[in-house]
Amino acid sequence: MTKRKIQMMLSVNGEDHDVSFLPHRTLLEVLREDMQLTGTKHGCELGECGTCTVLVDGEPALSCLVLGLECAGKDIQTVEGLGTAGGPHPLQKRFAELNAAQCGYCTPGILMAAQSILTKDPTPDRETLREELAGNLCRCTGYLRIYEAIEMAAEDMQHGS
């Protein structure tokens, strides 16, 4: 019930961060507001859109429905850890090229979901992508360029380019 912050180590994108935050803060709030990692977006904060998707121990999770303190000892991956403009992940590169990120607001969440799909299935077919991305709403693209970008990135990763 307190308004006292807790302090803990949080491993984000392979780096340990010493952070303190209020115990009722969600991972989304901790990332965006306590760590200034604003790459992770939000569209509802109720689990209804997938925009806030990050990876927790390699599995996609909605950061708006996970407590920050539940993430102690876990490995958090966000879009900031995926790649940089100078060294983009194949997914990021293909999303940029194909205009799979129109407004780009759903993009970080979709990239993280896509990343986890590719770890499990390096050559996913359309149907797999469709089913696995069903929790990531996008209002701009109609998802079509998103599928294409993921498929091309999958190919890039297969051929190591």
Ligand X SMILES: Cc1cc2nc3c(=O)[nH]c(=O)nc-3n(C[C@H](O)[C@H](O)[C@H](O)COP(=O)(O)OP(=O)(O)OC[C@H]3O[C@@H](n4cnc5c(N)ncnc54)[C@H](O)[C@@H]3O)c2cc1C
Give, as ranges, the residues between 60 and 99 that touch ligand FES (CB under 6 A): 62, 64
> 31-70: which residues touch ligand X (CB under 6 A)?
47-48
Closest approach of other proteins to the CB of residue 75, in Å: 15
Q: To the nearest whole angstrom, how small is the minimum distance from the Cβ of residue 155 to other proteins?
A: 17
In contact, 91 and 111? CB cutoff 8 Å: yes
Rounded CA separation 132/121 (Å): 11
Longest dimension (CA), the chain: 53
* Contacts to other proteins from residues 66-105, by CB under 8 A: 66-67, 69-70, 78-80, 82-85, 88, 91-93, 95-105
Residue 62's DSSP bridge partners are 53
For the chain, what percentages of helix, strand and coil (3-state, to nearest 5) are there? 40, 15, 45
| Residue 60 contact among ligand X, ligand FES, other proteins, none, beta carbon within 5 to 8 Å by kind | other proteins
How many of the other CB atoms lie within 10 Å of CB of 86? 5
Least distance CB 2 / ligand FES (angstroms): 26
Tokens for 132, please give them: 């696995």
Which is closer to other proteins, CB of 18 or CB of 36? 36
